[in-house]
Amino acid sequence: MSESLLQIHERAPFIAGAQTSAGKALVWLAGCGLLAWHGAPLLMLPAFTLVLLWPRHRRGLLALAALGMIAARFLPQALPWDEGFHAGWLRFLASTAIGVAAVLLMVWGALRFDRLPAAIRARPILWLHVLAGIALATGVWTEIWLLTLAPVLLWRASYLYRTAAAGRAAGTRFRDHLMYLMPVFGGTNTPYGKGLEYLNRTEARTPEAFARSQLAGIRLLLLAVALGVLLDLLLVLAHGQPDTLFRGAFAGWSPRLPTLGQVIATAADPRAAVGWAAVYLHLIVTTTKLATYGHVVVGALRLLGFNVFRNTYKPLYSTSIVEFWNRFYYYFKELLVEMFFYPAFYRSGWASPRVRILIAVLAAAFAGNAYYHLLRDYRIVFAGDWPAIATYWIPRLIYCLLLAIGIWLSMLRQQELRKRSGPPAGGLRRLRAIAGVWTYFGLLQVWLVEPEVAGAARRSGFFASLAGF
C-alpha cells in the first residue's frame, strides 16, 4: 500500500483518475495547496490553473506569465500604494516596458540568428557574456534597475543562443523561449529545466503524460514538505535552533552543537569531534535545503506538464565524487558541463585522454564555477575593497580547485572501474565509499561556508584542527 502511494505517478489507476474532472479538481487543490505552502511565486497559481484547464495553450500561457514575472520584478518601484500615482509608478512602467522589450529583442535575435553578424554567429554565447561583462565593468549593471534582470537572464539566454547556433531555433516561436527566460516556476540564476530543447523533450503531449507529470509533481512537492520537516527537526535536535516549525519543542534535548558557520566564525577551534560533527551536519543540512528548494521548482515544472529530472537525487547515497556532483545540483552541473566542459573537451583533442579530461574538468568545475559566482556576487568584486575581495575569493577559488581535482580523479577511477566487469560494490565496501564521499564534500564545504568574512587562513586553521593540529 505504501509503495502504491509513493509511486502515484507510475500507477495506472492514479493516472487514469487524474484525467477525470474530479481527479483534475483534486490535482488542482493539492497543487495549489502545496505551491502556497512552499511559497512558490504568486503568478504560479493562476498559471498552473490555466495550464490545467487548457494544456494545449501551455506555452502561450507560460509566456504571458513570464511577462508578468518581469513586471513583478519591478513592482517594488511603484510602492507605496497608498500614495496614489507617483514618480515610482512611471519608473515601474518604464522599467517593465524596457525589460519586456529587451527580452523580446533577445529572442528576436535568436530567431533570426542567421542574419546576425558573422562574428556573433561564430561565438554567440561569448558575445552575450562579453556584453554582460561590459555592463558589469562600466557599472551599468549595478546602477540601472532594468539590468537586475541580467543575472537571471544570462544563463537562460546562453541556452537560447546555444540552440540558435546549432540551427535548432528555426521554426520556434517567441512564446517557446519566453516561458523559460523568465520562468514562472521559479529557480535561481541556474536554469532549472535548462532551455527549450530539454523542455521540448520532457513536455507532456497526451492527457495521460500530463496526468503522470502532474502526479510526479505532487509527489515531489510532498517530498519537499517531508524534507522540510526533517530538516527543521535536525536543526532543532542538533543545534537547538529556535526558528523552526517546532519552535521551542525538543530544544531541551539538543546538545546545541555549533554549526560549521559558527565554528568558522569563532577564532578558537573546537574539539576535533565537535568540528567533525559540524562538518557532516553541514553537509546534510546543505543537501537537504537544496533538495527541498529544487523539489519545489521541479515539482512546479511537472505540474505545468514538463516532466523534468529532479535537481537533487539522493546525493548522500553516492559512492563516488563524480556521482555526488551529478546528483547534488543537477541543473548547475549540466550548465557547467554544457557551457564549459564539452567546449573545452572538444578543443583539446591534441592532449592525452587524461589531460584532456583534466582540462575540461578545470574549465567547468574551476573556471566555469568561479565565473558563475563572480557574476552572482559581482557586488563584492566591484566594490573595490581588495582585502574583502581576497577574503571572499581565495577560499572560493580553493574550493573550486579542490572540487575540480576531486572530480577529475573520480572520473578516471570510474573509467577504470567500468573496464572491470562485475557487480557493483555492496555491503561494507559500499558504505566505505559513501563515507569517503561524505568526508570529501563535507571538508570541501569548509572553504565555502558563510561567513564570507572568514578568510583562507581561518579556514585552514580549522581544517588543521580537524586532524588534531
Q: Which residues bind another protein (CB under 8 A)?
A: 162, 166, 197-198, 201-202, 309, 322, 326, 333-334, 337-338, 341-342, 345-347, 349, 353, 357, 360, 411, 415, 418-419, 424
Nearer to another protein, 326 or 460 (CB): 326
Q: Is 271 left (phi over 0), alpha (psi -120 to 50) or beta?
A: beta
Nearer to another protein, 172 or 244 (CB): 172
Give the nearest distance from C-beta 7 to another protein in angstroms: 16
Give the nearest distance from C-beta 275 to another protein in angstroms: 32
Give the nearest distance from C-beta 15 to another protein in angstroms: 19
Q: In angstroms, what is the C-alpha Rg of the chain?
A: 24
Nearer to another protein, 333 or 396 (CB): 333
Nearer to another protein, 426 or 468 (CB): 426
Give the nearest distance from C-beta 255 to another protein in angstroms: 38
Nearer to another protein, 29 or 122 (CB): 122
Nearer to another protein, 60 or 315 (CB): 315
Nearer to another protein, 289 or 356 (CB): 356
Give the nearest distance from C-beta 291 to another protein in angstroms: 18
Nearer to another protein, 349 or 387 (CB): 349
Give the nearest distance from C-beta 166 to another protein in angstroms: 5
CB 336 within 8 A of CB 442: no
Give the nearest distance from C-beta 360 to another protein in angstroms: 7
Give the nearest distance from C-beta 415 to another protein in angstroms: 7
